[in-house]
Amino acid sequence: MKNFFITATDTDAGKTFVACALTQALLSKGKRVAVYKPIAAGCDNINGQLTNEDAQLLTEFSNCEQHISAVNPITFEAAIAPHIAASNENRAISIAEIEKGFAELISLDADINITEGAGGWRLPIHINSTSDQKHVFLSEFVQLTQQDVILVVNMKLGCLNHALLTYQAIISDGLRCVAWIANNASAESMSCLVENIASLEQLLPIPKIAQLNFYQDDSMSVQDKIKAAATEIDLSTLY
């Protein structure tokens, strides 16, 4: 069993798109893949259940017959930082709650488990107002579960700094960052894209397993775009 955690240089970097594409690529190799997106802010109320569009998409690509409530157990209607959304609802997000959902994921006995993070690597899930208690970050869950990390780099101005700082934080947390993906999450391609990717290939001591371009063809569904992106991912170093 392999466990991969998908993180990114910032929010809206395309983590869900990449997680779905990676899942699809693994399915094409005959793998059983279970997915997990523990926290989602920005949900629609559908028949009394808060449903996140990204989590729903991720659920569609799993082949382990997962229900969205198991894939995405912690939901907030407001599209704001999760710890603020929780505070506004007088709730608290705990590592124990996230670990419980992950244990259920492991029990499915899939070949590969893919967990999608929220925001960037150092996402706070609880900020303490008193100095005698430490703040809590989603990255602590990844440390406790010892998942290998795949870094999605949002190819835009500033991504070199963001990618290196994120990689260094992952390593300093005692984890393995096993691969990175260059993702063009916007229709507007960054200036000197080729040169920036070449720089990252030299600066990051891990393999680039894909360069995903923005699909501007409006006739393609999101699912078709994900399936097309899946063919661009090199799985050879992952298992």
CATH number, position 111: 3.40.50.300
- Which whole number is the average pLDDT over 39-51? 92
Q: Is residue 236 part of a domain?
A: no
Annotation says 134 is catalytic = no
What is the model's pLDDT at position 216? Answer: 80
pLDDT band at 215 (very low <50, low <70, confident <90, very high): confident
Q: Is residue 22 part of a domain?
A: yes
Which one-letter amino acid corresponds to residue 8? A
What is the model's pLDDT at position 143? Answer: 98
Q: Is residue 95 part of a domain?
A: yes
Which residue among 15, 29, 31, 37 is the active-site one? Answer: 37
Q: Is residue 235 part of a domain?
A: no
pLDDT band at 82 (very low <50, low <70, confident <90, very high): very high
Least reliable range by pLDDT among 13-17, 59-63, 125-129, 227-231: 125-129
Spatial separation of the C-alpha atoms in residues 167 and 19, rounded to whole Å: 18
Please check whether residue 70 is in contact with residue 61, taking contact to mean a CB–CB distance below 8 angstroms: no
Q: Which domain, by its residues, includes 113?
A: 2-230
Q: Is residue 60 part of a domain?
A: yes
What is the model's pLDDT at position 234? Answer: 97
Written as one string, the DSSP assignment of 125-191 is EE--SSTTS--EEHHHHHHHHT-EEEEEEE-STTHHHHHHHHHHHHHHTT--EEEEEEE--SSSPPT
Q: Is residue 85 part of a domain?
A: yes
Q: Which two tokens stand for residue 120?
A: 């960037």
- Per residue in 99-145, pLDDT (tens digit) is 999 999 999 999 999 999 999 999 999 998 776 678 999 999 999 99
Q: Which two tokens stand for residue 164?
A: 């290196």
Total domains in the fold of the chain: 1
Q: Is residue 14 part of a domain?
A: yes
Spatial separation of the C-alpha atoms in residues 135 and 93, rounded to whole Å: 12
Dihedral sign computed on CA atoms, order 231, 193, 236, 33? negative
Q: Which two tokens stand for residue 59?
A: 């659920």
Please check whether residue 72 is in contact with residue 38, taking contact to mean a CB–CB distance below 8 angstroms: yes
pTM flag (> 0.85): yes
Q: Is residue 65 part of a domain?
A: yes
C-alpha 138, offset from chain centre: 12
pLDDT band at 156 (very low <50, low <70, confident <90, very high): very high
